[in-house]
Amino acid sequence: MVIKWIALLIVLLTLAYDLWLLKLAAKSEHNPIPENCRDVYDNETYLKWKQYFSEKNRFSIVRTLVGTAASFILLAVNAYAWAAEPFKEQPFFAALAVLGFFLVVGALVDLPFAYRYTMGIEEKYGFNRTTKKTFWIDQIKNFLVEFILTCGLLCAFIALHLWLGDWVLVLFAAVLFGFLLIGTFLYPFFAKLFNKFTPLEDGALKTRLVTMLEKYGYHVRDIKVMDASKRSSKANAYFTGFGKMKTIVLYDTLLESFTDDEICAVFAHEMGHGLHKDTLKAQGMSFLNVVLIVLFAWIHVKFPQIAESFGFDRVNYGFAVILLMQVEMALISPLLGLFHAWMSRRHEFRADAQAVAEGYGHALISGLKKLGRENYADLSPDPLLVQLTYDHPPLAARIDAIERALQREP
């Protein structure tokens, strides 16, 4: 029983931390805008940003409270043991019943908030372009992908543990990490489930992008335009693919509102990530997460009294996954996130420097300001919040670093 109360206490501590972060975010509304990005918003837009930011923050507080309350109640009343009861003699079905119950309840609890955020807040401030039909199709697709992948990994873990016992630690860590790599490789396939991709028309922009990549030995498989505008007005670009063969992806919203120089600047930044193998380094960080996940999973199957504290009469693999997500990883993720955020911010500065080296420093500044304006960026976030959670530096810091890099250029 002590184990159960410790777990419930961790859920409450996680809630307190999340609410504290939201309180830090709320302070940004009253911070002065740095001088180098005062031109991002005019007075009317700045007032609209403050309304958007405040409304979104209040919404996040309610969403966090409701989601945590649902998690706390389900754990406190031993609801997962009830879900497993009809299948308790069959480890695979008992685990899938518990995990399925968890995923369905979580989706249903969050669904009104997802709808309100997309069709309410984002619609109100002009970001949303998602139709109701697209919204519901996206929800179904997201749920099915999450359900299939999560349950598939769970079945793999059960089979390996029943076969290998404690050796599952080594093999499942390799399986899970391999799965993450495959997921990265298959990202273009999954993206096609949600968006349409059309070839970029031949012209000066296409030539400049291909030339930029080929200068560093990359081979361009294709340049695609993604129909991001059917969901949002926000813009972005990226390239994907392993090794030297790359596919360039441009959001159609980027093509609508950015000049060719600004698009090249944004893409030169993305290319900088590729040249410095930032994605591969992030995978190294993912491997640490994998090791911790497998270690916690092993602890759950090694000590059945953990599950027994929540009404089970034996180990339930599905419940082990739930506790791992809501308790153990929730407790240590802020510490892991602190290092990841710091590393990611360094990578962003370095990628910006690559755009400067390509001759697009000034265009990158104007492009970043457009992105900030169109995405309603927080121009003066609390410095502590930046250190704890931001994987991108604030706009003012990025502009300052770009300007200093421009001064060093011959």
pLDDT at residue 403, rounded to an integer:
92
Mean pLDDT of 132-146: 87
Query: Quick one: 34 and 74 in the same domain?
Result: yes
pLDDT at residue 135, rounded to an integer:
87
Predicted confidence (pLDDT) at residue 188 exceeds the cutoff of 70: no
Q: Is the pTM of this model over 0.85?
A: no
Per-residue pLDDT band for 175 (boundaries 50, 70, 90) equals low
Predicted confidence (pLDDT) at residue 71 exceeds the cutoff of 60: yes
Contact 372, 257 (CB under 8 A): no
Token pair for residue 310?
């929540």
What is the amino acid identity at position 401? A
Any domain includes 296? yes
Query: Quick one: 117 and 181 in the same domain?
Result: yes
Tell me the three-class secondary structure of 303-325, residue by residue.
Answer: CCHHHHCCCCCCCCHHHHHHHHH
Any domain includes 281? no
Q: What is the rounded CA–CA span in Å between residue 224 and residue 195? A: 11
**Least trusted range by pLDDT, from 5-14, 15-24, 51-60, 245-254:** 245-254
Query: Quick one: 123 and 81 in the same domain?
Result: yes
Q: What is the rounded CA–CA span in Å between residue 302 and residue 91? A: 15
First to last CA, the chain: 68
Q: What is the rounded CA–CA span in Å between residue 314 and residue 320? A: 11
CA distances from 341 to 28, 283, 295, 346, 387 (A): 19, 14, 23, 9, 7
Token pair for residue 317?
């693999």
Last residue of a domain, one of 275, 310, 326: 275
Mean pLDDT of 149-172: 75
pLDDT at residue 297, rounded to an integer:
79
Query: Quick one: 160 and 214 in the same domain?
Result: no
Query: Quick one: 202 and 187 in the same domain?
Result: no
Any domain includes 298? yes
Answer positive or negative: Cα dihedral of 169, 170, 174, 177: positive
Token pair for residue 300?
């759950």
Query: Quick one: 226 and 264 in the same domain?
Result: yes
CATH number for the domain spanning 235: value is: 3.30.2010.10
Domain count, the chain: 2
pLDDT at residue 232, rounded to an integer:
65
Any domain includes 344? no
Listing from the earlier edge strand, what are the strands of the sheet with 219-226?
197-199, 219-226, 245-251, 237-240
Per-residue pLDDT band for 61 (boundaries 50, 70, 90) equals very high
Answer positive or negative: Cα dihedral of 280, 284, 285, 290: positive
pLDDT at residue 66, rounded to an integer:
96
Token pair for residue 267?
């893409």
Any domain includes 375? no
Query: Quick one: 63 and 47 in the same domain?
Result: yes
pLDDT at residue 258, rounded to an integer:
86
pLDDT digits (tens, 9 = 90+) for 203-258: 888 888 888 888 887 776 777 788 877 766 666 776 666 555 567 777 888 788 88
**Of 105, 84, 6, 1, residue with least CA distance to 323:** 6
Predicted confidence (pLDDT) at residue 167 exceeds the cutoff of 70: no
Query: Quick one: 163 and 223 in the same domain?
Result: no
Contact 68, 11 (CB under 8 A): yes
Computed on alpha carbons and rounded to an integer, the radius of gyration of the chain in Å comes to 23
Any domain includes 268? yes
**Least trusted range by pLDDT, from 178-187, 284-293, 373-382:** 178-187
pLDDT digits (tens, 9 = 90+) for 355-399: 999 889 999 999 999 888 888 888 889 999 999 999 899 999 999
Query: Quick one: 18 and 63 in the same domain?
Result: yes
Token pair for residue 252?
């159609």
Contact 355, 364 (CB under 8 A): yes
Any domain includes 138? yes
Enclosing domain of residue 262: 197-275
**Of 299, 310, 314, 317, residue with least CA distance to 89:** 314
Last residue of a domain, one of 317, 336, 355: 336
Residue 407 phi/psi, 5-degree rounding, is -65, -30
Mean pLDDT of 183-209: 73
Predicted confidence (pLDDT) at residue 340 exceeds the cutoff of 60: yes
Q: What is the rounded CA–CA span in Å between residue 97 and residue 91? A: 10
